Amino acid sequence: MTDQTNIAARPRTAGPIARIEGWLASIPHSLPLLALRVALAVPFYKSGLTKWDGFLQLSGGAQFLFGSEFKLHILGNQYPYPFPMTAAYAAGTAEIVLPILLVLGLFTRFAALGLLAMTAVIQITVPEGWANFHLPWAAMALTLVVFGPGRIALDALRGGSVARPQRG
C-alpha cells in the first residue's frame, strides 16, 4: 500500500461540532439527574413552606384555599376537595418531605412518583397552569422515575436502583 492509500483509509479528524458533541456526551449522567432533582424539589418545597405556621400547624391561607377556593375541575365541572383539611395536611407534608428526599437522592423514584401524582392533582385544580408549570414538573418527575437519581445520591450508597438498564 502506498502512503496515499493509508492516508485515505484513516478516519478523518473529528470536526469541531463532533468534538463538542463528544465532550457533551461525556458529562456523567449523574450531574443532570442531580440538577433535575433539585429543580423539581425547589418549587414544591417553597410551596410546602407556605402551608405551615409551625410544626403540624396549617397556615390560615392553606386552610382557606383548601376549604373554600380550591376546586377540582373534572369533565367541565368544579367539585370541592373532599376532606379539604386532610388534603391540605397531606399536600403540605408531601411538599416538604418529598423534595427533601429528592435532593438527598433517597427513595428517589418513589419521591418523584409522589410529585408526579401531586402534579396531576394540581393540574385538575389549576388547569390553566399546564404549559408553564405542570408540564415541566411532570417531565422532570417522569424522567427521575424512569432513570433514577444517578450516582450522586443516597440511593447509590444504600444499594438502591440508581440506573435503568438500556433498552433500545
Report the distance separating Cα 70 and Cα 80, nearest Å: 7
**Helix pair angle (30-50, 108-125), 10° resolution:** 50
Among 48, 95, 87, 89, CA closest to 70: 87
The C-alpha cell that represents 56 in the structure block:
403540624
Instruction: For 46-59, write each residue's pLDDT tens digit.
Output: 999 999 999 889 99
* Contacts with 145 (C-beta within 8 Å, 6 or more apart), sequence order: 109, 112, 113, 116
| Identity of the amino acid at 156 | A
pLDDT at 154 over 70: yes
Read off the pLDDT of each residue in 145-156 and give the average, rounded to a whole number: 94
**For residue 78, pLDDT beyond 70:** yes
Prediction pTM value: 0.83
What are the C-alpha distances in Å from 101 to residues 55, 107, 113, 154? 19, 7, 12, 9
Q: How confident is the model at residue 167 (pLDDT cuts 50, 70, 90)?
A: very low
